[in-house]
């Protein structure tokens, strides 16, 4: 009578639909933002971006684990910073700060 033995090492934690959901978050956002979403508390704004039926609590998942799950699912990950097209869509913070500094220096003079 042979019984099927489990392989050596620690069993995988994130399988099935949870692994697919993590990979879709990486594809939609990026690895770091997906980690912030998955590690966020249950009543925060970031937690609303994940599927609360699949992931009701914060996972406390590490970045290398997220990247491994995404790679297994076939998500293409590019190294380095995002292209300037992606960065250009975000508003620059420095533009607001410089305008505030100029207005305060004129008032002081």
Q: What is the sign, positive or negative, of the torsion defined by CA atoms of 69, 75, 79, 81?
A: negative
pLDDT in tens, 59-94: 899 999 999 999 999 988 877 776 776 555 555 566
H helices within 1-109, ranges in order?
16-28, 31-39, 63-72, 84-88, 94-108
pLDDT digits (tens, 9 = 90+) for 32-67: 999 999 999 888 898 888 888 888 888 899 999 999
The per-residue pLDDT for 24 is: 92
State the sign of the Cα–Cα–Cα–Cα dihedral 94, 47, 75, 77: positive
């Amino acid at each position: 009578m042979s019984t099927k033995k489990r392989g050596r090492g620690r069993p995988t934690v994130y399988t099935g639909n949870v692994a697919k959901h993590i990979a879709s978050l990486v594809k939609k956002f990026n690895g770091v933002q997906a980690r912030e979403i998955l590690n966020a508390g249950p009543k925060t704004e970031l937690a609303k971006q994940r599927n609360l039926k699949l992931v009701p609590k914060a996972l406390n998942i590490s970045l290398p684990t997220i990247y491994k799950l995404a790679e297994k699912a076939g998500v293409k990950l590019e190294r380095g910073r995002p292209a300037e097209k992606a960065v250009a869509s975000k508003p620059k913070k420095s533009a607001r700060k410089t305008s505030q500094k100029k207005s305060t220096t004129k008032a002081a003079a």
